[in-house]
């Protein structure tokens, strides 16, 4: 009953000072809205990284020759010839957690069809490549194991290559193209995948049996890479360990020697990129939080002025029987109401801003429920925290002095 | 023998200003009975305001006895004093002290908002009744800026009546009003007094004292005069004697 009355008194005071209340709220509104929008951007980019990487095959594992090249002054992986077909066979024989596996050799060159030509990359793989990369063909068929055995000059090409070397809209399947002057018969076209998160065109590829690429194009007998996929995403870390052990034995490495190859799962890649975007999110949220803090100080400022301005009213309220605690509660409720109303409006504005960012700037966003809950809680706490001091001051006034205050 | 509303015995109030001690009240004794209309007079510095503050339970005596309606005030806490003010005293101020941009009825309801024993309906009812008593039954929704000075003071009087206090305490209640309006207000006080309401009126205007039944005069913190007024003037009669106002 009493609290309800105080609530009524506080609401009344807010309504009587609409403009001032609204201006006070503005700080909170902007603060909350920016926290929500920033978190939405952060979450959105994190999610988009995750989905693109998952689309590339989330249980994919890559094995490259050479040590982890993240450290300084080490040879680039591509130049090291420690990964061989024999390694591939051994892993294939011994690893139990891998479902698909392919050797990879790759090189760049010119794709030529008559007068049209286009610079692209050729990947020499086996038929399991499609399963690992999770891609399908839009027409034609993949080459077979037999064609790999015989090093047939057949190729599957991506849409970008089709667009550039078959500009007249010819059906590419069955046509002959040349890659670095070696003729290939096009037997299939990959389905379109577009650009990945890192801006790489996933359709700008020529895929051929690795034997053909090794012998005819690159003239090498080692591998640039081995790609595999773990049985499931959860098995990926275990599979990485397993492959590492097999390769260490195979390469006869002693305990104190570093790996001369690098095994990485997509999961690691995801966490690397996620942590980058997470750091960015933290930065953005920190900036937004500062504006929320400033909003809170705005509330304190206005409440402080309000207490000064209404000293006489406080004196009267005390004279007619308002206790110190009543006055304290009244001003505290006022501050909390301002900040919570500001919080609600801020959430709405934040959601609006998020939609705007998604629609007009085409940035991926994702509003997390926790961001709303947190910013709302922060609002309420801000109200109590910054409302307390002025309210305390009001409640401690001496009624005689307050009544005489001009 | 009617009930004693106020009982003051050898009451002292001292203030310490730096190293000096100011004796605002130097041991006064006074008793106010139910139904009395007392004016407390005195020039500035006489201790009038200090006495008013103590009577109104806004301040506490340094020593001596102060009882209101049988309750000894001396050792009460801040909160207990607030409750006494809420339930036993009706305040009227020189500058009305109404809440701006707030309707008459809401202003009158104010003391009851701090009394959790009174329900919303009862609060409204009592506020309407109090406003009717002061002749403002038609102006419930007017805000102070829409009312004249006299009407604003009537709202304040209604506010002092709404909690059914044992005593109304008026501090220079006619100080801001012209003669005509102050006579109107005094006649309202006389009417309320006739209905049995105890009124203590602090003023420095001698003509106001002629409307009350008893006068207490303070000087330098002591009571120098305390007399019954056997020839109480009727404020409404005085009002009729004033030259007619031209509208």
Cα-trace Rg, chain B: 18
Q: Which of A1, A9, A322 sits opposite B82 (nearest CB)?
A: A322
Q: Collapse the DSSP code of A97 into the 3-class scheme (helix H, G, I; strand E, B; otherwise coil) and give the result.
A: coil
Is residue B216 over pLDDT 80? Answer: yes
Tokens, residue B215: 């006068």
Query: pLDDT confidence of B163, banded at 50, 70, 90?
Result: very high
Using CA atoms, how far residue A179 sits from A103, A167, A172, A327, in Å, is 20, 17, 15, 85
Task: Note whether B114 contacts A8, CB cutoff 8 Å.
Answer: no
Question: What is this structure's pTM?
Answer: 0.72
Query: pLDDT confidence of B124, banded at 50, 70, 90?
Result: very high
pLDDT over 70 percentage in chain B = 98
Q: Which residues sit opposite A109 in a β-bridge? A: A120
User: What is the ipTM, given to two decimal places?
Assistant: 0.93
List, in sequence order, every beta strand (DSSP E) within B47-198: 63-68, 71-72, 89-92, 167-171
The superfamily CATH assigns to domain B35-60+87-238 is P-loop containing nucleotide triphosphate hydrolases (3.40.50.300)
Place of tokens 């009227």: B92
Chain A residue with CA closest to B113: the answer is A5
3-state secondary structure B78-114: HHHHHHHHHHHEEEECCCCCCCCCCCHHHHHHHHHHC
| Stretch B227-231: mean pLDDT | 90
pLDDT at A47: 82
Tokens, residue A116: 């049209």
A109 touches chain B (CB under 8 A): no
Higher pLDDT: A302 or B160? It is B160
pLDDT at B143: 94
Q: Taking CB atoms and an 8 Å cutoff, what residues of chain A touch B113? A: 5, 8-9
CA distance B114 to chain A (A): 6
B53 touches chain A (CB under 8 A): yes
Chain B residue with CA closest to A400: the answer is B58
| Residues of chain A under the 50 pLDDT cut | 69-72, 75, 77-78
Using CA atoms, how far residue A167 sits from A117, A155, A178, A188, B158, in Å, is 10, 18, 16, 17, 94
Q: pLDDT tens across B19-65, in order?
A: 899 899 999 999 999 999 999 999 888 989 899 999 999 999 999 99
Task: Note whether A318 contacts B97, CB cutoff 8 Å.
Answer: no
**Widest pairwise Cα distance in chain B:** 58
Q: Taking CB atoms and an 8 Å cutoff, what residues of chain A touch B102? A: 12, 16
Q: pLDDT tens across A393-405, in order?
A: 999 999 998 988 8
Query: pLDDT confidence of B105, banded at 50, 70, 90?
Result: very high
């Amino acid at each position: 009953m009493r609290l309800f009355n105080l609530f009524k008194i506080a609401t009344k005071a807010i309504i009587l000072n609409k403009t001032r209340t609204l201006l006070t709220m503005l700080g909170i509104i902007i603060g909350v809205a920016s926290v929500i929008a920033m978190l939405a951007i952060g979450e959105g980019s994190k999610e988009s990284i995750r989905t693109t990487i998952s689309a590339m095959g989330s249980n994919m594992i890559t094995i490259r020759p050479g040590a982890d090249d993240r450290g300084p002054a080490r040879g680039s992986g591509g130049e090291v010839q420690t990964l061989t077909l024999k390694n591939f066979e051994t892993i294939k024989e011994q690893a139990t957690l891998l479902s698909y596996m392919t050797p990879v050799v790759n090189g760049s060159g010119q794709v030529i069809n008559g007068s049209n030509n286009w610079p692209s990359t050729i990947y020499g793989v086996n038929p399991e490549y499609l399963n690992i990369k999770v891609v399908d063909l839009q027409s034609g068929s993949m080459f077979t194991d037999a064609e790999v055995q015989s090093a047939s000059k057949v190729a599957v090409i991506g849409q970008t290559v089709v667009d550039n070397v078959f500009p007249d809209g010819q059906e590419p399947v069955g046509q002959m193209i040349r890659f670095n002057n070696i003729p290939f018969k096009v037997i299939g076209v990959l389905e379109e995948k577009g650009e990945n998160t890192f801006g790489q065109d996933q359709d700008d590829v020529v895929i051929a049996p690795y034997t053909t690429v090794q012998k005819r194009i690159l003239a090498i007998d080692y591998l640039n890479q081995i790609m595999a996929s773990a049985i499931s995403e959860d098995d990926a870390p275990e599979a990485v360990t397993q492959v590492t052990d097999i390769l260490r034995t195979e390469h006869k490495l002693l305990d104190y020697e570093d790996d001369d190859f690098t095994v990485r799962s997509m999961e690691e890649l995801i966490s690397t990129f996620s942590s980058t975007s997470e750091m960015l999110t933290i930065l953005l949220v920190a900036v937004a939080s500062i504006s929320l803090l400033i909003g809170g100080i705005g509330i304190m400022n206005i409440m402080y002025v309000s207490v000064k301005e209404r000293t006489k009213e406080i004196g009267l309220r005390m004279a007619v029987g308002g206790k110190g605690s009543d006055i304290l509660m009244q001003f505290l409720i006022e501050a909390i109401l301002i900040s919570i109303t500001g919080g609600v409006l801020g959430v709405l504005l934040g959601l609006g801003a998020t939609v705007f960012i998604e629609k007009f700037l085409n940035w991926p966003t994702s509003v997390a429920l926790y961001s709303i809950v947190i910013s709302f809680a922060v609002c309420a706490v801000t109200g109590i925290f910054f409302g307390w001091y002025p309210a305390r001051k009001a409640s401690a006034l001496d009624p005689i002095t307050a009544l005489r205050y001009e | 023998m009617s009930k004693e509303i106020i009982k003051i015995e050898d009451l002292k109030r001292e203030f310490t200003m730096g190293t000096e001690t100011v004796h605002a009240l130097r041991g006064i004794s006074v008793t106010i009975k139910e139904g009395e209309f007392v004016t407390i007079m005195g020039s500035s510095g006489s201790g009038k305001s200090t006495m008013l503050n103590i009577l109104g339970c806004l301040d506490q005596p340094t020593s001596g006895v102060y009882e209101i309606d049988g309750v000894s005030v001396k050792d009460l806490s801040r909160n207990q004093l607030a409750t006494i003010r809420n339930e036993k005293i009706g305040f009227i101020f020189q500058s009305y002290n109404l809440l701006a941009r707030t309707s008459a009825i809401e202003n009158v309801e104010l003391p009851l908002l701090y009394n959790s024993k009174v329900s919303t309906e009862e609060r409204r009812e009592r506020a309407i009744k109090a406003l009717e008593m002061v002749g403002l039954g038609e102006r419930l929704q007017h805000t102070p800026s829409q009312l004249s000075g006299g009407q604003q003071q009537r709202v304040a009087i209604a506010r002092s009546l709404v909690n059914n206090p044992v005593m109304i305490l008026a501090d220079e209640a006619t100080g801001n009003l012209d003669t005509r309006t102050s006579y109107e207000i005094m006649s309202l006080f006389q009417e309320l007094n006739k209905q049995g309401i105890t009124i203590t009126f602090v003023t420095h205007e001698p003509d106001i004292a002629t409307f009350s039944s008893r006068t207490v005069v303070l000087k330098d913190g002591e009571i120098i005069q305390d007399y019954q007024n056997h020839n109480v003037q009727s404020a409404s009669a005085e009002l009729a004697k004033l030259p007619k106002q031209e509208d």
